[in-house]
Amino acid sequence: MEDSSKVIHAIYTDDDLLMAAVKKVRAERYHIEEIYTPFPVHGLDKAMGLAPTRLAITSFIYGTIGLIVSVVMMNYIMIEDWPQDIGGKPSFSYIENMPAFVPIMFELTVFFAAHLMVITFYLRSKIWPFKKAENPDTRTTDDHFLMEISAGQNVDAQFDMLRNTGAVEVTLIDKAH
């Protein structure tokens, strides 16, 4: 695995070209390490063959947790711990006074679902405030698209193939530090 630290960067100026290139590269069975784009390119994940996100499923679970938290909290506070008569509201059992708790149940469900999902997204994407930016080429934040593929045995053939897909720049990068 002497070549594993070498990658090829191909830069494109158009997202349609990029999509076509991704399909070509995958058809030629090269492994795409990463793609850097300045904006979301619709359908890129499908073209790359990325697995669908499970973020929505985590969000559902977090929402359920939020609902349970609110029910347990209000049941303990309002029904079990100190069941006072507040304005004639029935505090004998949870279900009797439930309509009054629904706004809290709803908000906590949304709160947990939203915030925990965002935090999960940060963790899974490894984003935090003092994170060092991983950007191989600053132009990719503006108007260029960069595809990174691992260099194989025959780098020249890979170069040719990438140039044929319309790449404006193809460079060999040694990632070893």
Partner 1 sequence: MYTISNRLKTFSIILIVLGILGVAYGFMTSHKSLEEVKTMLAEDHSVHGADFVPLTQEHVVRGVENDDDNFHRSGAYDATADVDDMDLETEGMIMDSTAMESSEVHSDNESSGTDVQEHSQTEDAHGMVGEHGEGNQDTHAVHVQEQLAKRPWSALYVAAFFFMMIALGALAFYAINIAAQAGWSPLLMRVMEGITAYLLPGAIIVVVIALGSHYIGHHNEIFIWMNPEVVADDELIQNKSSYLNIPWFVIRAAIFIGGWCTYRYFARKFSIAQDNAEAGDIRNFKKSFRIAAGFLVFFIYTESIMSWDWIMSVDPHWFSTLFGWYVLASMLVSGITVIAMVTIYLKSKGLLPMVNDSHIHDLAKFMFGFSIFWAYLWFSQFMLIWYANIPEEVVYFITRIEDYNLLFFGMLVLNFVFPFLILMNSEYKRIPWFVVMSGVLILVGHYIDVFVMIMPATVGDQWFIGIPEIGSVLLFGGLFMLVVFTSLTKAPLTPKGNPFIKESEHFHY
Binding residues for partner 1 (CB under 8 A): 56, 60, 88, 99-100, 102
Least separation, in Å, of the C-beta of 90 and partner 1? 10
Nearer to partner 1, 92 or 128 (CB): 92
Q: Are 44 and 35 in contact (CB under 8 A)?
A: yes
Least separation, in Å, of the C-beta of 24 and partner 1? 23
Nearer to partner 1, 88 or 129 (CB): 88
Least separation, in Å, of the C-beta of 56 and partner 1? 8
Nearer to partner 1, 36 or 66 (CB): 66
Sole residue written with tokens 């469900």 = 109
Beta bridge partners of 169: 11
Nearer to partner 1, 71 or 173 (CB): 71
Three-state secondary structure along 3-24?
A: CCCEEEEEEECCHHHHHHHHHH
**CA angle at 75 for the pair 73 and 76, rounded to the nearest 5°:** 65
